[in-house]
Amino acid sequence: MLSTMQDAPLTVTRILQHGMRIHATSRITTWTGEPEPQRRSFREAGERASRLAHALRDELGIDTGDRVATLMWNNAEHLEAYFAIPSMGAVLHTLNLRLPPEQLVWIVNHAADRAVVVNASVLPLLVPLLPHLPTIEHIVVSGPGDRSALAGADTAARVHEYEELIAGRPASYDWPELDERSAAAMCYTSGTTGDPRGVVYSHRSIYLHSMQVNMSESMGLTDKDTTLVVVPQFHVNAWGLPHATFMTGINVLMPDRFLQPAPLAEMIEREKPTHAAAVPTIWQGLLAEVTANPRDLSSMRHVTIGGSACPPALMKAYDKLGVRVCHAWGMTETSPLGTMAHAPAGLSADQEWPYRVTQGRFPAGVEGRLVGPEGEFLPWDGESAGELEVRGPWIASAYYGGAGGEPIRPADKFSEDGWLKTGDVGVISPDGFLTLTDRAKDVIKSGGEWISSVELENALMAHPEVAEAAVVAVPDERWGERPLATVVLKEGATVGYGTLKEFLGGTVAKWQLPERWALIPAVPKTSVGKFDKKVIRRQYADGELDVTEL
């Protein structure tokens, strides 16, 4: 028996049209570093997206399925590309401008991008790569910045100015009726081990993910909110916020290239966003800034933190400022929303805390399970630790195999029955709250027992004189592996290793306490702001760290 319901495809186009019509006056504000930011309504942005689609098709010859890359900061023009490119049937490919040049070259060639839309301020990164990017036929330059590097660029690609390209073109577009399962956007993993891997999002997955972002159990924003989108648009669709905002009319504040703590603090004080999203390192920097130079953050009711575990001490510090932090977990392969840590109803603040420091509960669209070292499925008892596997309508089932290639399903990333192996180790409580104890590759295997590097880091960062801490496994003749604690002290701090070890002893078992310690100026970060522990392991192996043994 079939249903009697209409079959309307779930596409990015529908999100765009809804935002333009129903939330026409909602606004996109882009920070410019000038006294007045750039402001644009959803209707205006939608009309400009239509003009961009005309330009891509008529002037550049972009067709259905063609990949169009962006190498851009978070701004209104990038948002226009987010909608124009998928809605016309092409594929948006966001490039991570913080990746090493050789990885960017590999990614563009693997995706076979035909065109790239680039902010002028990023041209010094792009131009040296152009001789190695044979598939790029068009370069579209947007925003302020020096264009002179293009004059002698070694490329056959045609160069266009964004504003000149879209000027005079129709403000509406006859959007094609697309298959909701066709490709809309793609993003490559950061390639911390081996080559980056391409994840291709469908129109359907983006639509369903956007609905989940707007659920009250997720970010729960409305047209009365303004979200400060610090998480880069080149990283997992900016956690789904560009699409979710047009679906619900959420006002958008884009920081462009002004991602340092001082301008972020000024943005919040002047533009008064109610919500923001970014990785923990952003919020640690902002906290240090507003501690040294107080700013009014009272408009921000809540913050979504993901990308890596948020230190509980950081959450408590923002609580004191009246800003509630909500932990989230996800990855490129999960679009990225996997869990969010809203405590159950009816609890006091003290009772909520154990739930808030978890990664949160799975939404209805995501199923999770834990797998033990022998492949056995583990119970949700809050104690049995295993690797997290997930599946759902916005979870990847394979990686992009390159132009004309078959999808790739490596056994270390996908189970035989199709679940995504996340590489995260953790436990799940009986009521579905996920607590990640570590990445599988970062667990310290000492004398047959596991030590969580994340637990040690969080405990260290709770010390008032510690700014950051990263813990890695290093070889040990007796125990196989032992923890090395690398610590970044706050300015002017003088605390010693012995005091820190004693401080740790108040929260973790004695056998887990590190014997090896080193002070470092900053914890190395990946291109998306996560701790890059492989760098620390290499520095230790090469004797570059000044290590003290206690």
Q: Which residues carry out catalysis? A: 189, 333, 445, 450
C-beta atoms surrounding 153 within 10 Å: 17
Phi-psi region of 401 (alpha: psi -120 to 50; beta: other; left: phi over 0): alpha
Specify the 3-state DSSP secondary structure of 498: helix
What the block records as the tokens of 124 is: 């010094």
User: Could you identify the residue written with the tokens 């909500």?
Assistant: 326
Q: Please, which residues have CB within 8 angstroms of residue 440's CB and are 6 or more apart in sequence? A: 387, 423, 424, 425
Query: In Å, how far from its chain's centre is CA 17?
Result: 26
CB-CB contact of 23 with 249 (8 Å): yes
Q: Tally Cβ neighbours within 10 Å of residue 115.
A: 26
Angle (deg, nearest 10), helices 241-248 and 203-213: 70
Cβ atoms of residues 358 and 387 within 8 Å? no
Full DSSP string of 532-547 = -HHHHHHHHHTT-S--
* Residues 343, 353: Cα–Cα separation, whole Å: 8
Which residue in this structure is represented by tokens 């891997």? 197
Longest CA span, the chain: 73
